Amino acid sequence: FFEIFSGIDIEHLSTAAAESVEIDDIARRALHVRSMIQRTQESLRAVDKCEKPVIAAIHGYCIGAGIDLSACCDIRYSSRDTTFSIKEVDIGLAADVGSLQILPKSITDHGLFRELVFTSRTFDTNEAQQIGLISRVFDTREALLDAAISLASVIAHKSPIAVQGSKINLNYARDHTVDDNFTFVRTWNSAMLLTEDIVKNLMTTSVSIEKSKL
């Protein structure tokens, strides 16, 4: 899981900006900046594309790129004292590595989400839950980390065929039509249904049911 408590490295941004300024030709400068943005996007999208579930444990300050990174995670927990801000508008740009590209697919209150994007104002865990940015809130950082690790342990004990297949299909469903999703999962499960995990899990379930009757 990821422990998120900050945002992008400002020094890195300053260095990258200085490098681009040294390029005289405007078109070449644009290509350089485009390449820089792409590298940053790919580094965060690697989390979204990871075939294993990724849990974000957010505490302290989650600013700008911190929200971008959390957007790429599958499950987002937070401590109650966390302060959030989609900060890019204050800097003078549109968020380009997750917040505006992935979060709108899962946000529950789009009006409030747009307000937070347009104003860059800080918001607390109550509003973060209201828009669907986080799913659970814990009183302390320690409780947050314990819950995230416990959840990771529960998931890790499930069939990797089932868990990874579920994430792959969830991400595919997010980005495709319903008909495409049914076609994809049909093809996917035509191979995955052959796993021995199904037989083992059914046998375990049957044994548990029989024991409960005793």
Domain co-membership, 187 together with 135: no
Which has more pLDDT, 163 or 204?
163
Question: Same structural domain for residues 126 and 182?
Answer: no
Do 98 and 176 fall within a single domain? no
Confidence grade of residue 24 (pLDDT, cut at 50, 70, 90): confident
Q: Are residues 90 and 193 in the same domain?
A: no
> Which of 110, 128, 155 represents a domain boundary (last residue)?
155
How many domains would you assign to the chain? 2
Are 34 and 107 in the same domain?
yes
Is the full-model pTM beyond 0.95?
no
Q: Is the pLDDT of residue 49 over 90?
A: yes
122: tokens are 């800080």
- Domain assignment of residue 146, given as a range: 2-155
Average pLDDT in the chain: 88
Instruction: List the CATH number of the domain containing 203.
Output: 1.10.12.10
Tell me the pLDDT tens digit for each residue of 55-99. 999 999 999 989 999 999 999 999 999 999 999 999 888 888 889
Do 185 and 145 share a structural domain? no
- The reply to whether 32 and 61 lie within a common domain is yes
CA angle 78, 44, 98 (to 5 degrees): 70
Q: Are 67 and 115 in a shared domain?
A: yes
Whole-angstrom distance, CA of residue 189 vs CA of residue 185:
6
Distance separating alpha carbons of residues 82 and 3, to the nearest angstrom: 12
HSE-up of 67 (CA within 13 Å, CB side)? 32
DSSP 133: S
Residues 140 and 178 grouped into a single domain = no
Bridge partners, 136 (sequence order): 77
Min mean pLDDT across 21-35, 43-57, 99-113 is at: 21-35
Q: Which contacts of 140-147 are long-range, i.e. CB under 8 A and separated by 24 or more positions?
A: 140/79, 140/80, 141/59, 141/60, 141/79, 143/79, 144/57, 144/58, 144/59, 144/77, 144/78, 144/79, 145/3, 145/57, 147/77
Check if the beta carbon of residue 6 is closer than 8 Å to that of residue 63.
yes
Whether residues 67 and 94 fall in one domain: yes
